[in-house]
Structure 1
Amino acid sequence: MSASTAFANADFETLICDVPRPHVARITLNRPKAMNAYTFAMTQELQRAVACYRDDDDLRALVLAGAGDRAFCTGGDIGDSEPEHRERVQRAPMGMGREMRDGMQPVVAELRRIDKPSVAMIQGYAVAGGLALALGCDFRFAGPAAKLGDTSNRFGLLPDEGGAWLFPHVMGYDKALKMSLLHEIYDVETAFRLGLVTEIVSGNLEERTLSFCEALAGKAPLAVRLTKTMMMRALDSTYQSSLGDAQLAVMIANPADDVREATQAFREKRAPRFKGR
């Protein structure tokens, strides 16, 4: 069994994993009746699924989606879906902080840290922790009915999955603070203007997202991974430090077989056959 087959055959209770296109992985949050609100159990499965994508060199792009058409993810489940877990958390010293540290925070962080691209495919609501999860991805493709915002403060809760950093970095401090304090939800056009959405898809959202990921997967894998790493590191570093990262990265990328293959393909007027080496 190949690694990508293992990914597609992974057994999860709250997720569906498949490989819908060559080299393209998809993780679908599968709690449509709860508008794909996440539970602690789901965060544990998400960590495993994202790690499986990260470690499989045959998988080169990831789609993160929500089941159904009502929501991508509406944040943490505030219902009684895990009463025994909730009781343990409330009883333990620092329990709620540890739950966040071991739950959704590492999922969002790993999506950003992983050196392969990811795309959030947003139908319906992506709010609170669901918006943080979407912003953990590199790209966000949204249908015309998508709604994005932060509803945490509506319940006296906080943007604690990573949103307190992600929201102002994407939108600007004042707009992010206004969104969170007033628990605003935006239509897709407004979300696009604010930078929360990469592309609005008026047609077939799934087809457009998968085609985009297939295009990403067709690029030189080593160059894609190093480019993402360089740009992600540059967000938290100085210009001079970024130049240093580039100098180190070219020593890996430039001698690669894929560079010679791309050069030969250009001369022969054909599409390159990248192998990620």
Structure 2
Amino acid sequence: MGNTSNSDSIGTSRAYKTIIVENGGDGVTTLTFNRPATMNAYTSEMCAEINDALLAFTANDAQRALIITGTGKGFCTGGDLKSSDGAAERQLGHAIVMREGMHPVIRTLHSMDKPTIAAVNGAAVAGGLALAAACDFRIAARSARLGDTAVRVGLLSDEGGPWLFQRLIGLEATKRMSLLGEIYDAEEAHRLGLVGQVVDDDVLIETARAMAGKLAAGAPLSIRLNNRMIDRASTSTLDECLDNAALSVMISNDSEDSREGTDAFRTRRTPTFNGR
């Protein structure tokens, strides 16, 4: 997978300080949290950089799938309790910090129709687990630890966890994890449904890239529309889901990709999709 500088081909001239962005020629972008000394705990600056990179990825048609991971021993351990955001010194400031910091990141990530994969390389707790839960897929290294620890320090799951977690593991399991502040090893997280796959540490990125590469090689319109339909179906009635499908096929069934896919099927060759 080819590397690019943070300012190349991602639609932004910003030089990131807390994340690394790599755009591959295969259409796969990797966004790596890069604050290993804090196990990638996030700050307001890091949130702004993540959201900027996510928006740039969304706007770049050449990049079709996203991997999110971390450097060092942590995926992300939530908010950095040692950092000082000036606004948070006031009571109302706490809400401002969240609404302008991590909340836009979670919204952007969860609403993205391009497929996203969290490659959980280490500890993913509190807001870090919410970041992983906002992705479409989660692959965990065998050494990873996942859970919601906010109550251990008298804080809340204020990064969307109550909404995201129970859609993965159910209501009671979410309450057990969040109210007791539990942390699970990768195998238990897989059993509960927090992650979809557990692999050895040394093949984590390789496994994520293989999945991302397969997604990136697929028909972009079909994948993005299907992804959006599946997300919306979880909060829609059957009639609403069917109506959405009827409108979506007006885009997909007349596309160049649809004609390419049909012709490739008939001629028994591998299709090449251009996203049009």
With the length of structure 1 as denominator, give the TM-score of the two structures: 0.93
Instruction: Quote how far apart the aligned CAs of 1:127 are.
Output: 0.4
Q: How far did residue 4 of structure 1 move?
A: 9.3
Counterpart in the other structure of 2:71: 67
Partners of 1:116 and 1:228 within 8 A in 2: yes
Q: Percent identity?
A: 46
Distance 1:25 1:231, change over 3 A: same
Instruction: Provide the rounded CA distance (Å) in 2 between the counterparts of 1:97 and 1:67.
Output: 29
1:102 to 100, 103, 121: 100
8 Å Cα contact 1:54/1:116 also seen in 2: yes
Listed as ranges, the matches of 1:20-35 within 5 Å are 20-35=24-39
Distance 1:20 1:76 in 2: 29
Structure 2 equivalent of residue 192 of structure 1: 190
Distance 1:235 1:99 in 2: 29
Once the two structures are superposed, residues 180-210 of structure 1 have per-residue CA deviations (whole angstroms, 9 ceiling, x without a partner) of 1110000111100111001111351111101
**Per-residue deviation, 1:40:** 0.8
1:222 aligns with 2:226: no
The SS at the match of 1:276 is: coil
Q: Does 1:76 align with 2:75?
A: no
Shift of 1:7: 2.0
Provide the rounded CA distance (Å) in 1 between the counterparts of 2:247 and 2:173: 37
Residue type of the alignment partner of 1:228: N
- Once the two structures are overlaid, the 10-residue window that deviates more, 58-67 or 161-170, is 161-170
One-letter code aligned to 1:159:
S
Can you list the C-alpha shifts for 1:16-74, whole angstroms capped at 9, x where unaligned?
A: 00024510011100000100000011001111000001111111000001012x11000
Residue 167 of structure 1: aligned partner: 165
Q: Determine which of 47, 53, 56 is the counterpart of 1:49.
A: 53
Equivalent residues in 2 for 1:193-212, closer than 5 Å: 193-202=191-200, 204-212=203-211
Aligned residues: 270
Taking the aligned partners of 1:100 and 1:37, their CA distance within structure 2 comes to 14
Separation of aligned partners in 2, 1:20 and 1:38:
25
Report the equivalent of 2:230: 231
Partner residue, 1:241: 240
Partner of residue 151, structure 1: 149
| Residue deviations 1:54-107 (CA, integer Å, cap 9, x gap) | 111111000001012x1100000001x3x3x2x33323x621112111111111
2:124 corresponds in structure 1 to: 126
Relative to structure 1, the CA distance from residue 234 to residue 4 in structure 2 (aligned partners, 3 Å threshold; closer, same or farther) is farther
> Mean alpha-carbon deviation: is it higher for 16-25 or for 113-122?
16-25
- The residue identity in structure 2 corresponding to 1:118 is T
Give the whole-Å Cα distance in 1 for the aligned partners of 2:141 and 2:183.
15
Structure 2 residue runs without a partner (length 5+): none
Note the C-alpha offset of 1:269.
Answer: 1.7
Q: In the alignment, which residue of structure 2 is the partner of 1:115?
A: 113
Work out the CA distance in 2 between the residues paired with 1:180 and 1:88.
26
Q: Does the 8 Å CA contact 1:4/1:59 hold for their aligned counterparts?
A: no
Q: Secondary structure at the match of 1:126?
A: strand
Q: Are 1:4 and 1:19, in contact at CA under 8 Å, matched by a contact in 2?
A: no
TM normalised by structure 2 equals 0.94
Bigger drift between 6-15 and 120-129 goes to: 6-15
State the SS of the aligned residue for 1:106. helix
